[in-house]
Amino acid sequence: MSYKDQVARTLVILARTPGWQTLKSLSPDCDDETVQAILEAAADFAEGVLAPLDPVGDKIGAHYADGRVSLPEGFAEAFKQFAESGWLGMDVIGTYGGQALPLTVQAAAFPLFDRACTSLMMAATSTRAAAHLLSEAADPATASEWVPNLVSGQWAANICISEPDAGSDVGRLRTRAEARGDEWIVNGNKIWISFGDHDLAERIGHCVLARTNEKPGTRGISLFLVPNMIDGASNGVVIERIEEKLGLHASPTCAMRFEEAKAVLLGEEGRGLPELFAMIELMRLATGCQGLGLASAAADIAEAYAAERRQGGAPDQPPVTIDQHPDVRRQLDEIRASTEILRAAVLELATAMDIARITGDAALADYTGWMLPLIKNFGAEAGFDVPNRAIQILGGAGYTQEWPLERHLRDARVFSIYEGTTGMQALDFLTRRLWRDEGKGLSVFMDRARQEAGESPALLALLDEFEALGTHMRAMQADTDAALYRADAYMRAAWMAVSAALAYRIGDTDALPRLSARFAYHAACCA
């Protein structure tokens, strides 16, 4: 398990990412040597401070008593150190105490932290995303009060969307906010709230969606900041319980109730969901980083184990290490390819998001919108699939708690559920990115991929087939139900096309035949 090896792999792929070269010219303070130093420091912090907490957190978990949640010993101090070291505000603007580094640097560093202690990083991820949200959507006084305290780790924040009868169907939520004079008052229930309560910080801000009028669906929903305390007194935020879960035991998932809670309106009334997407988009990219962190750990474990474990070979000779067996080599090659393609994809998206923000390039913004469902979903799936395959390589040993693979597997299972399930990502990818946006982001991908493909017949042929598949899926708008039934297959075919282009970029041409075969399968499912 080498954190430094993960840094080295990241730097190699970053150097091969065309957007990184462009971004460096736009951000002159962010040179290769500086980024290397940042990532090496992140690796040291992850390995030295965070990683020892992960098995402890899994075993002890979060505890709920007398209406409050407490975390295992060491978690609060680690969160404080994390913030004081500057990691929490890496890409937050300097006006509010952040370091204003490119999102790319943050996306390169955070998989190291996610690898070390995913449960604690759940708090860091939501707090960081809230800092961005408040810096953009809050009034100046609220932003000036909250964002510096979030960046410093004195305060923390979370996102409150789901309700007992309104999960992905946000338009049916019932939590209400009422204007009373100069104040907004929130009443209602929320469930599945990660770090809805904890003892990491002095104060917690809840970014809450609530209905403010009778307009149907999401048009009647607004976004609010609801502090858990005001002037040292409770603000009507009640924690009812925490969930017992498959994994992420030290990440408290809360059921909570708002009773006459005072709130601050964020952005415009009735535009709560669009305002919240400033936070959700960052958290979806963060899900890709979480998956990459756990996939990196699992791939490293499997390779190290296979290089030492001896089994089989000629009966009259000493047993050989299992990495010499062809089937084990195949498995190792596949999980490493999955991991490094995801790493390339995360860095590709992050650099594009940075450049689009700096330059205002509308086409590049379309491209990032097209890529985001892919990174969220397939980063999540890699976070589960790679540990699952690594357990197979270790055999019975991998199934035991002697190795952390089973913990990584359990922790990662939720990644493809929260921040938009796989099905929701597929619907978004088809109906918004292809139909509503008329495939603008797809066109940018095709142009970039073909330019990089050069004279590779295999990759160019796959890209041609993917373009034809897009034409076919556009034509299916006339039969919506049939198209939606095939949305998942279409998204998976897209990921195979993206993976093939990125495999070619990073020099893994051996992966192309396998990716082409998988593309053909998913494309056939769209027929």
What is the helix (H) or strand (E) element at residue 463, kind and residue range? helix 457-475
Q: Tally helices (H) and strands (E) across the chain.
A: 18, 11
What is the helix (H) or strand (E) element at residue 65, kind and residue range? strand 63-65
The one catalytic residue among 163, 275, 340, 419: 419
CA nearest to 293, candidates 354, 222, 215, 382: 382
C-alpha distances in angstroms, 450 versus 180, 277, 442, 445, 500?
A: 58, 31, 12, 8, 11
Tokens of 519: 């593309």
Buried residues in 269-299 as b, exposed as e (16+ CB within 10 A) = bbbbbebbebbbbbbbbbbbbbbbbbbbbbb
Burial class from Cβ neighbours inside 10 Å (0-12, 13-18, 19+) for residue 478 reads exposed
Residues 6+ apart with CB under 8 A from 398: 390, 391, 392, 405, 406
Phi–psi pair at 238, nearest 5 degrees: -115, 125
Distance from the first to the final alpha carbon of the chain: 43
Catalytic residue check, 419: yes
Phi–psi pair at 9, nearest 5 degrees: -65, -40
Residue with tokens 């992966």: 511
Distance CA 225, CA 117 (A): 28
Q: Write 68-72 long-range contacts (CB < 8 A, 24+).
A: 68/197, 68/199, 68/239, 69/196, 69/197, 69/198, 69/199, 69/239, 69/242, 69/252, 69/254, 70/198, 70/199, 71/198, 71/199, 71/200, 71/250, 71/252, 72/250
Distance CA 156, CA 199 (A): 10
Distance CA 518, CA 527 (A): 15
Burial class from Cβ neighbours inside 10 Å (0-12, 13-18, 19+) for residue 23 reads buried
Decide the pairing of beta strands 155-160 and 203-211.
parallel
Residue with tokens 């909570």: 256
CA 212, 214, 216 angle in degrees (round to 5)?
110
Q: At what angle do helices 457-475 and 440-453 cross, to 10 degrees?
A: 170
As a three-state string, the secondary structure of 172-217 is: HCCCEEEEECCEEEEEEEEEEEECCCCCCCCEEEEEEEEECCCCCH
State the DSSP string of 227-239.
ESEETTEE-SEEE
Q: Which residues are catalytic?
A: 419
